[in-house]
């Protein structure tokens, strides 16, 4: 079994940051992180190899 792809690792890290921003009530930070996650998920997947 392989580990997460680099993009999956970054999205997981950003999801954690998003959770922290929401927990702290930092709406602006939450919006920025949310947008970053959205942009990453819209990118095409790079071919393996």
Contact 20, 30 (CB under 8 A): no
Q: Note the pLDDT of residue 3.
A: 79
**How far apart (Å, rounded) are the C-alpha atoms in residues 49 and 26?**
40
Q: What is the DSSP letter of 49?
A: -
End-to-end Cα, the chain, rounded Å: 17
Q: Note the pLDDT of residue 46.
A: 66
pLDDT tens for the chain, 49 residues long, are 677 888 999 999 999 999 999 999 999 999 999 999 999 988 777 666 5
Sign of CA dihedral 28, 33, 36, 42: negative
Sign of CA dihedral 33, 39, 45, 49: negative
């Amino acid at each position: 079994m392989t580990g997460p792809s680099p993009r999956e690792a970054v999205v997981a890290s950003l999801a954690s940051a998003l959770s922290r921003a929401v927990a702290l009530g930092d709406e602006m930070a939450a919006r920025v992180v949310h947008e970053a996650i959205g942009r990453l998920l819209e990118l095409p997947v790079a071919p393996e190899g």
